[in-house]
């Protein structure tokens, strides 16, 4: 009772799965992906084991088609299931069992598959495919467009409840927690897709902020400032991004620009952020003299407005 997309970005090698369902907490069941290996979506009277077992088969050298055949041939309930797999070479395989509740079906394309069951219309998966292939954006945003197209086409006949998105890198680092570059979950919401898109936007902002930190540590202040500004533009409501960006700027010598950003946060959110600055100084995260100078500047700026 779900619609989903599995996909591989042929330019970056990223793998992704995105899903929406009228079902509480769809995220632990449907989306599975492993960097450099592939992605699996398992749904419709879901056999959750198809996810981890499918990835294990891909790791062992099976193609998507071979892995799907192995999974379904060993499952007595296969005719009730849907499953789609994309492998490291962009090979795709999908299965919609004869006993899936209509409207049910799938659309396999170049490096992706869209699948759905218990939909209002049998046009949902084709609409997903059109949206995915016609959107010029990174993989996550293209998958988001596919989900939104499914909902616009009628979506799950029962309504909507939860959604999730998982994206992993194409080249594994050996640190799986770093390879999962996007891992978003809306467990229960009246409008899960708008919330998922909001979370994706915020995740992009924090990704830009992390890149700014990396550039700053490498000594490229100009590029770091540009990335920090990008993070603020993407998610201006995230006061924490402004606070840490301002603090980094002030510690790097741009006291005016940094304190301007930090003052915005203190003005909006109050004394807690001044106290945060003091506590950073206590443990040496900010030199005591720098923290004192910033606090004095903030007190004067905020107090004068």
Model pLDDT for residues 198-243, shown as the tens digit of each residue:
999 999 999 999 999 999 999 999 999 999 999 999 999 999 999 9
Round to whole Å and give the CA distance between 58 and 66.
9
Is the separation of the CB atoms in 132 and 142 below 8 Å? yes
Q: Residue 67: which H helix or E strand, with range?
A: helix 64-73
Round to whole Å and give the CA distance between 294 and 288.
10
Q: Residue 221: which H helix or E strand, with range?
A: helix 221-234
Round to whole Å and give the CA distance between 60 and 41.
19
> Does pLDDT of 146 surpass 80?
yes
Domain count, the chain: 3
- The answer to whether residues 269 and 221 belong to one domain is no
* pLDDT bucket at 50, cuts 50 / 70 / 90: very high
Name the least confident of 145-149, 169-173, 184-188, 194-198: 169-173
Residues comprising the chain, all counted: 305
What is the model's pLDDT at position 274?
95
What percent of the chain has a predicted confidence (pLDDT) above 70? 99
Round to whole Å and give the CA distance between 105 and 97.
9
Bridge partners (DSSP) listed for residue 40: 32, 85
What is the model's pLDDT at position 202?
98
- The answer to whether residues 195 and 252 belong to one domain is no
Is the separation of the CB atoms in 96 and 79 below 8 Å? no
- The answer to whether residues 124 and 262 belong to one domain is no
* pLDDT bucket at 304, cuts 50 / 70 / 90: low
- The answer to whether residues 251 and 232 belong to one domain is no
Q: How many CA atoms lie within 13 A of 86 on its CB side?
A: 33
* pLDDT bucket at 1, cuts 50 / 70 / 90: confident
How many angstroms separate the Cα of 31 from the Cα of each of 52, 260, 298? 10, 42, 46
Q: Which of 153, 170, 187 is the last residue of a domain?
A: 187
Domain hosting residue 116, numbered range: 2-187
Q: Which of 236, 268, 293 is the last residue of a domain?
A: 236
- Domain at 169, CATH number: 3.60.20.10
How many angstroms separate the Cα of 230 from the Cα of each of 7, 115, 224, 245, 269? 27, 35, 10, 11, 22
* pLDDT bucket at 277, cuts 50 / 70 / 90: very high
- The answer to whether residues 196 and 183 belong to one domain is no
Bridge partners (DSSP) listed for residue 18: 5, 165
How many angstroms separate the Cα of 94 from the Cα of each of 37, 81, 82? 17, 11, 8
What is the model's pLDDT at position 303?
74
- The answer to whether residues 265 and 284 belong to one domain is yes
> What is the mean predicted confidence (pLDDT) over 35-56?
97
Left if phi > 0, otherwise alpha if psi is -120 to 50, otherwise beta: which for 154?
left
- The answer to whether residues 161 and 220 belong to one domain is no
* pLDDT bucket at 288, cuts 50 / 70 / 90: very high
Q: Residue 19: which H helix or E strand, with range?
A: strand 15-21
Please give the DSSP secondary-structure letter assigned to residue 135: -
- The answer to whether residues 96 and 205 belong to one domain is no
For the chain, the average pLDDT equals: 96
- The answer to whether residues 157 and 216 belong to one domain is no
- The answer to whether residues 11 and 160 belong to one domain is yes
CB atoms under 10 Å from CB of 156, counted, come to 22
Is the separation of the CB atoms in 164 and 30 below 8 Å? yes
> What is the mean predicted confidence (pLDDT) over 236-258?
94
> Does pLDDT of 305 surpass 90?
no
- The answer to whether residues 280 and 196 belong to one domain is no
- The answer to whether residues 216 and 262 belong to one domain is no
């Amino acid at each position: 009772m779900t619609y989903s997309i599995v996909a591989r970005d042929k330019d970056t090698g990223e793998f992704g799965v995105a899903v929406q369902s009228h079902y509480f907490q769809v995220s632990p069941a449907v989306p599975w992906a492993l960097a450099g290996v592939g992605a699996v979506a398992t749904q419709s009277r879901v056999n959750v084991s198809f996810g981890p077992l499918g990835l294990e088969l891909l790791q062992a050298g099976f193609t998507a088609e071979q892995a799907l055949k192995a999974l379904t041939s060993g499952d007595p309930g296969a005719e009730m299931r849907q499953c789609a797999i994309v492998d490291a070479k962009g090979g795709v395989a999908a299965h919609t069992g004869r006993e899936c509740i209509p409207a049910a079906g799938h659309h396999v394309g170049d490096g992706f598959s869209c699948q759905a069951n218990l939909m209002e219309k049998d046009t949902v998966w084709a609409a997903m495919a059109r949206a995915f292939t016609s959107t010029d954006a990174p993989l996550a945003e293209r998958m988001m467009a596919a989900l939104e197209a499914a909902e616009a086409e009628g979506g799950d006949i029962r309504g909507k409840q939860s959604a999730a998105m998982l994206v992993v890198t194409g080249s594994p680092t050996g640190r799986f927690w770093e390879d999962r570059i996007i891992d978003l979950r809306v467990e229960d919401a009246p409008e899960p897709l708008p919330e998922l898109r909001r979370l994706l936007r915020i995740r992009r902002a924090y990704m830009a902020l992390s890149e700014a930190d990396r550039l700053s540590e490498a000594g490229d202040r100009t590029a770091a400032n540009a990335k920090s500004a990008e993070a603020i533009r993407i998610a201006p409501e995230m006061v924490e991004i402004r606070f840490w960006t301002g603090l980094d700027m002030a510690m790097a010598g741009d006291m005016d620009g940094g304190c301007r950003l930090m003052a915005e946060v203190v003005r909006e959110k109050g004394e807690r952020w001044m106290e945060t600055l003091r506590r950073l100084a206590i443990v040496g995260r900010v030199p005591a003299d720098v923290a004192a100078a910033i606090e004095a500047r903030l007190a004067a700026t905020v107090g004068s407005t």
